[in-house]
Amino acid sequence: MTVLEVLNAATDFLRKCEVESPRLNAEHLLAHVLHKKNRIELYIEFERTLGEAERAPLRELVRRRSEGIPLQHLLGTVDFMGLEFATDARALIPRPETELLVGLVLAEGAGLRIADVGTGSGVIALTLANKLPEAAVAACDISPDALALARENADRHGLARRITFLECDLLSGFDGPADAVVANLPYISTVEIATLSREVRHDPVLALDGGADGLDLVRRLTPEAAAKLAPGGLVALEIGLGQAAEVARILAAHNFRDISIRRDYQNIERFLIARHG
C-alpha cells in the first residue's frame, strides 16, 4: 500500500469510530511512525510504498486512538508556544487556549518572582522561564507524578536550574512575596466529569475536578494569593465557561483591583487578570 492508501484507510477507520478530525489524526500518527518532523512531509511521499514493518505500528496506534487514547499521549509530545513538551497520563494535556494565558501574563508584566499553581506538565512555568530569563519561577503541584513530568520537561529545555519545584497544596509551600501568581486550576464541576469526552477523561481526575461548581480551588487560592503577592502583584487565572462573573466577585472580595475578563479563541470568557492591593 502507498502512503496515500494507508492514510485513506486509517482515516476511514477513525471516522467510523467517531474520532474527531480523523484525517488530521491519521496524518499525525503516520508522520510519527515514519519519524517525520511534521505531517506535511507526507504530502511529498504519497506514492511511496509502505511495507508491513511500517504499517504494523501504525495499525496499533490507530487502534488505540479509536479507543479514545488521546492523540497527544500516543505521540508523547505537544507543542506549546513553539516549545515541545512531553505529555502523558500524569498531567492534564496542555490546551491551546492556555497559550493565551501565558501571553496575557507576559503582556501585563509578570515581574521577577512568579508562582505557577497547579503546574501539571510545567508548560506555563517553563514557558515563562524561557521568555523571562531573569525571572525566578516556582512550579507548584500537589501531584508528585505531575511534578516528575514537569521536571522532565525542564531538563528537556535546560531550565531545571531556573525552576523551583514545590510539591504542595496550592501556595502552601511557596514563600512570598510573588510578583505574579498564575494558575490553570481544575474548574470542571464534579457532576460534569462523567459527561466529558473519552479523550478528556484520560486526564487525571485531580486535574479536572473543581468541586460542586468548579470553583472550589479558585476560592481557596484567592486568599492565599492575596497574602503572598507583593503590593500591586498580578494574578492570572484560566477558568471555565460561565464562571467569570463569580470569579471576579471572589477576587474583588479579597482586595483585588483592575479586574479584567479576557476571551479565548472561541470568544469564551476564559481568563481573569487582576492586581492586588
| Helix axes 244-253 and 216-228, enclosed angle (nearest 10) | 30
Q: Which three cell numbers stand for residue 225?
A: 494569593
Report the share of the chain in percent with pLDDT over 70: 100
pLDDT of residue 272: 98
Q: What is the CATH number of the domain that holds 228?
A: 3.40.50.150
* Domain co-membership, 59 together with 187: no
Q: Which domain holds residue 250?
A: 89-276
What confidence tens digit (pLDDT) does each residue in 7-30 have? 999 999 999 999 999 999 999 999
Q: Angle at Cα 83 formed by Cα 81 and Cα 88, nearest 5°?
A: 105
Q: Are residues 50 and 126 in the same domain?
A: no
Domain assignment present for 73: no
- Distance (Å, whole) CA 222 – CA 227: 9
Both 233 and 182 in a single domain? Answer: yes
Q: Give the pairing type, strands 269-276 and 256-263.
A: antiparallel
Do 155 and 45 reside in the same domain of the chain? no
> What's the total number of domains in the chain?
2
Reported confidence tier of residue 37, pLDDT bands at 50, 70, 90: confident
Domain-embedded: residue 145: yes
DSSP assignments along 12-30, one per residue:
HHHHHTT-SSHHHHHHHHH
Are 22 and 99 part of one and the same domain? no
Q: Among residues 67, 102, 122, which one ends one of the domains?
A: 67
Is residue 75 situated within a structural domain? no
Q: Is 236 domain-assigned?
A: yes
Phi and psi (nearest 5°) for 192? Answer: -80, -15
262 and 171 share one domain: yes
Q: In terms of domains, do 244 and 175 share one? A: yes
What pLDDT is attached to residue 255?
97
Both 46 and 104 in one domain: the answer is no
Q: Looking at this protein, which amino acid is placed at residue 75?
A: L
| pTM exceeding 0.95 | no
Query: Would you say residue 76 lies in a domain?
Result: no
Q: Which three cell numbers stand for residue 67?
A: 479507543
Asked if the model's pLDDT at residue 209 lies above 90, the reply is yes
- Note whether 141 and 243 are same-domain residues: yes
In a domain, 195, yes or no: yes
Q: Averaged over 166-180, what is the pLDDT?
A: 96
Q: What CA–CA distance (Å, rounded) separates 214 from 188? A: 5
Task: Judge whether 22 lies within some domain.
Answer: yes
Looking at the fold, whether 62 and 94 belong to one and the same domain comes out as no
One domain for residues 47 and 127: no
Mean per-residue pLDDT of the chain: 96
Domain C-terminal end among 12, 35, 67: 67
Tell me, yes or no, whether 31 and 116 share the same domain. Answer: no
Average pLDDT for 59-80: 96
**Is there a domain that residue 83 lies in?**
no
pLDDT in tens, 212-236: 999 999 999 999 999 999 999 999 9
